[in-house]
Each structure stands twice: as structure tokens, then as C-alpha cells.
């Protein structure tokens, strides 16, 4: 049994719902405001769920891969 067998939904399902929610928020709020809130929420979740050492590795990895991030227009 895989760790993923315990999850009711797939990552793809979660991503699709999150994109839908983001689309709704973009109808009312500025993209920069939404992105800032999403970023701090993501970092807060990582910091809550990870050891400090793992968290530091995660944020370094995010920083190191910053040039590989694509826009929504690509």
C-alpha cells in the first residue's frame, strides 16, 4: 500500500479546484494581492508541516528554481 492510497482525491483534482478558486478570486481582487496571500499561505503550511531544516531546504529549492517558473500565459 502506498502513502497516496490514503488520500481521497488526486493532486490533479486539488490543483483543478485551486485554479477554479483562483479564477473566482481574480474576478474581484488584483493578481498581485492574490499571489502574495498564496505565497505566504504556502510558506506557512510548509513551515507548520516540516522540520526547520526541511523548511529551509524547501525555500532554498524554491529560490534556486525561480527561473524555471512559467507564467499562466505559456
Give me the pLDDT at residue 19, please. 92
Give me the pLDDT at residue 9, please. 75
- Which of 46, 42, 45, 44 lies closest to 57, judged by CA? 46
7 is written with which cell numbers? 488520500
- Kindly report, residue by residue over 13-59, the tens digit of the pLDDT: 999 999 999 999 999 999 999 999 999 999 999 999 999 999 999 99
Eight-class DSSP state of 7: -
pLDDT at 6 over 70: no
What is the distance between the alpha carbons of residues 56 and 58, in angstroms, rounded to a whole number?
Answer: 5
What is the distance between the alpha carbons of residues 68 and 4, in angstroms, rounded to a whole number?
Answer: 27
Give me the pLDDT at residue 73, please. 79
Evaluated on CA atoms 52, 13, 36, 62, the torsion sign reads: positive
Amino acid at each position: 500500500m502506498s502513502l497516496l492510497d490514503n488520500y481521497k482525491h488526486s493532486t490533479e483534482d486539488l490543483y483543478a479546484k485551486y485554479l477554479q478558486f483562483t479564477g473566482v478570486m481574480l474576478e474581484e481582487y488584483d493578481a498581485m494581492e492574490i499571489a502574495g496571500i498564496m505565497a505566504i499561505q504556502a510558506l506557512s503550511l510548509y513551515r507548520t508541516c516540516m522540520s526547520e531544516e526541511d523548511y529551509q531546504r524547501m525555500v532554498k529549492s524554491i529560490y534556486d528554481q525561480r527561473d524555471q517558473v512559467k507564467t499562466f500565459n505559456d
